[in-house]
Amino acid sequence: MAPQESAPATAAPQQAEIDRLRAAVARVEAGETAQAGETGQPGEAAQAGEAWQPGESDAGAGLGVRGPGAPGRPVPPPAPEVDEEADPYAVARAVVLRLLTGSPKSRAELERALRRKGCADDVAAEVLDRMEHVGLVDDTAFAETFVRSKQATRGLAGRALAHELRAKGVDEETARGVLDEIDPHSERETARALVEKRLGRMHGLDRDVQTRRLAGMLARKGYGGEVAHGVIRECLDALPEHRRD
């Protein structure tokens, strides 16, 4: 008989983290303050230097940002099956946990989902307030992950990122705080990489045509005119077909 496979080494730590989170949620619901090490507040992750590795939806982004899911951070416990006739607070908690298990969500996205499920606004607000208290709902952490993911996977810049964060329901102050952390040099280098990649499919075109198409591409991705035209000019000048003797 073939030997049975052993459980992954990470199973025990993950279960322990889930158990700690459940205890924290139970304490908050009982009106108590969550104990140190259970809440996973953002400051704890920053002090420990821990990172939230994005889920499958962010695979390939190579990000290191704080939030639920990393060692020492709150992991959404499996959402229990809840009878629709049950306590509305229990139903709302189950909906939120199920959504967070799938991928990170902003508070506004969770509010919209609860409203679609017929959850009363006051119930949704109380449940989400509790989730924020234990670190499961954190719009700053969500925005950081979202921004860095879109930078890595789509090469988006500040203007486009601000638009998408608004669509996700992240408030302007939170979004601005995250967007202000974008490194201008890194953003310029991302623009350069986008231009160089696109130029590979534009050989033989007139320089004016290349410039117009590249500028449109960068504008759609949120790059300002100064950065866009500067990078385009530098990249075109470096091409053998545009070099001046």
> Rounded CA gap, 117 and 40, in Å?
28
Q: How far is CA 211 from CA 67, 145, 208, in A?
A: 40, 32, 5
CA dist., res. 145 & res. 153, Å (int):
12
Nearest of 37, 36, 34 to residue 24 by alpha carbon: 34
Coil, strand or helix at 33: coil
The most confident of 39-48, 55-64, 236-245, by mean pLDDT = 236-245
Specify the pLDDT at position 116.
Answer: 95
pLDDT tens readout for residues 198-244: 999 998 899 999 999 999 999 999 999 999 999 999 999 998 877 66
- Tell me whether residue 149 is exposed, middle or buried, using C-beta atoms within 10 angstroms of its C-beta: 0 to 12, 13 to 18, 19 or more: buried
Task: Kindly state the tokens that stand for 167.
Answer: 């669509």
Architecture label for domain 184-242: Orthogonal Bundle (1.10)
Task: Enumerate the β-bridge partners of residue 52.
Answer: 65
pTM for this structure? 0.64
- Is 108 within 8 Å of 168 (Cβ atoms)? yes
- Report pLDDT digits (tens) over 104-130: 999 999 999 999 999 999 999 999 999
Q: How many Cβ atoms from other residues are within 10 Å of residue 134's Cβ?
A: 23
Domain extents in the chain: 68-137, 184-242
* pLDDT computed for residue 115 by the predictor: 96
